[in-house]
Structure 1
Amino acid sequence: MTPSTAVPQAEDWHDGFRRRTAIELRPSLDTLVDECVAYVQASMPELDVDEELAEGLQQSAHDNLERIFDMLGDGRPVGETTAPPGAIRYAETMVHRGTPLATLLRAYRLGTMWFWTLWKREIAARVEDRELFIEAVDHSMQFVFDYVDAVSEEVTEEYAKQREQWARTAAALRHETVVQVLSGEPLDLDVVAARLGYDVRESHLALVLSAVAGDDAEDVVARLEEQARQIVAPLSPRRLLLVPDGRTTLWVWCSLASASPDTEIAAALGAHRLPRSVVAACGLRGEGRRGFVTSHEEALHVKELLRVGGRHHGRAVHYDKVVVSSLMAADLERAQRFVAHELGALAAGDDATRRIRATVAVLLESGQRTATAKRLGIHQNTVHYRAKHAERLLGHPLSERRFEVEAALRLLRAIEP
């Protein structure tokens, strides 16, 4: 099947071929978006450090690919397109996160490389003739790069506009100052206190609050701020510092007057019920600028652990409660291999096995079947049965590799979806 050598007929054939290919690919949009995002993140892991960035990239890729397939399928020229909503929102997110424009444009270049590889592969699968294949590739190339040029130019303009607006706000100044404090660069702490209305030389507790991906309400930061005030209210903080980090994340520090131990702080924070759409992570109490930094870092570790586990607990999670799991999950791939090696069939995801694991975890912690039964509200015989079942799944008695099994159970509870 070859087009006529006459230019008009050849153009008609290539236009029709391009439309048919786009229409055939369109139903696989969601799968192709996932592949594109994975390709970009493989070269730019910094775009997958939290839900907001990952969700923004996912939505941008979806809207751009959807627009490309629709335009190719309808035969519309590039001159009629504008940057899709997901692309504009992703540029805004980059600005609010302080991400350089070069990072955003590199993501577009990688996305273009991925799409061009996909498109050439699809042409090769449909066209056997070598000369015709080259013609089809050339015919499509101009559209792809014209589209990316048009969208990149508009996204760049939007980034510049948003950056200028953001730079004027007090929130931007607070964010910039806090980032400087966190980076460890030499600063006049009196000037920092004046800018923030908060003295980093005091005793601190840091929290990170996030709305789940997809919460695009305009008042999301305001709602997170209200939740932050409610969470820390039982601690009677002397001062509170609220710093938005992007559209759906809030950094929080509170200055504490009393020397309450972390166990009491964790209990006070855990008593507050949160909406299921909000994740709240808390670090340990810290002193001075160093404590300002370390408490925040610990809160980020908790947030990452919650993200890996994919669960929203409905209450603030304190670093003191998950410190061991957080340390073990720092290398997620090794942690998953450790769990699989130690637990084997006991790591299965069905409800029955989950109940067995929960019972064994309490039994290993308490060391007594009676105490385990009382704590779980079940009969001692049930504890005995589940323990024996666990040993069959493990392939050895619970007394063997007890520490490793207990650690694997604790880790699995933290990272399983």
Structure 2
Amino acid sequence: MDLEANLDMKIPRVTGKLREMTAAYQRDPTVIVERTYRAISQSDAAYAKLPLGTKSDFMVSIRFSAVLWCNTILTGEYPSDEDMEPFRKVGRRRVHQGVPLASLLRAYRLGSKELWTIYLEFGAEHPDVQNELLFELSPYLLDHFDEMARAIAVAYMEEQYEQSRWKEALRYELCNLVFDASSDVSEFNRVSETIGIDPTIGRVALAFNSNVLDTFPSRIEKELDRMLVVVARTAKVNAADLVRVMYRGRLIVWIPCIRGDSILASDRRMGELATQVIANVAEFKQVGVGMMGQGPSGWSCSVDEAIKAMDVGERMGAGDNVYRYSDIALNEGARRSDNVLRYLESLIERLSHEPDLLRTLECYLEQFQKRKQTAQVLGIHPNTLNYRLERIEEIAGGNLGDPAWLAKLYVAIGLRKGSL
């Protein structure tokens, strides 16, 4: 604590019975510690739920604070910077123990109240100390604990800021590992665990098109953090469990899957989540949804899938704002094999010379093979539709009643539409 902050602070030096009482508590502050601990743990859930090891540290910090108070009013001197360092360390530790700053300050306020109650009880039993207690000690007690709260809050926020910068650096390193084809899985796991992310849980990448990049550069990070909180709230996870990065002009957010979920269940859940997020965040225009992946290669693959789904969806003019890779997975799988691609293209190659037949096939598939509905959409007589479908079977060499052949036509038509 700097001296300038204490020039106007009058520090009393207790006398008589108050001095005897304070000296006794300096030697053994057990009563103060137990009453303070009980008052705080009963009033704040953050402290009541602390693990055993942290509770022990909490008790030690109360003891230190009580002795520090006793020393101050016994000597009439404010604690030195060296005396204050262990106190500041308490604030730093609370950051890593997950205690919110509001709970930390509330605990200190409750502690000061409990200490003052102990002194008031002593004053009630000894009327001769009441004047010194009320007019000398009480004003300083308020100043003392106000300064202590300020010191511990500053230490807490400084540590929180450093922790935030440290975690951001590790998250940046994690993203580099994801997009590095030669990345080491063990290193990916180490960095993930260091920042509190379970690398054994699969994740799905969501790729967002957003107009947030049109804002001032100094505000982009703050806006992205705000939107990430909305995504986390919608997904019912902690924001710290999400990882985000700007990649190829899109905001990428990796969402943790539920352990044990199948890839089908995960895809359905992420599709619903993406729809909700688009509705809740006005800055998000479209979102691509990848498939579940694990490890650096799995995370990277999910990003590629999410971006691909968005690109294909926008190119085909689907009119939606949520594009799932699972909707184009068969088509994209076919594209990766030249032989399969040539085979599927050959299925409808001859039909392309008769536009009416090709359009009829597309509509027939879009209407889920319902002939009456297809005829109505095309505006033709049912007999005309039957004739055209027979011609399609004859030219393409297959049977529309064969599910396997029908599935090939679905993929072939999808590939053709995607290439236009």
Q: Same fold (TM over 0.5)?
A: no
The TM-score bracket by the shorter chain reads: 0.3 to 0.5
Larger Rg: 2
What TM-score, normalized by structure 2, do the two folds share? 0.42
What TM-score, normalized by structure 1, do the two folds share? 0.42
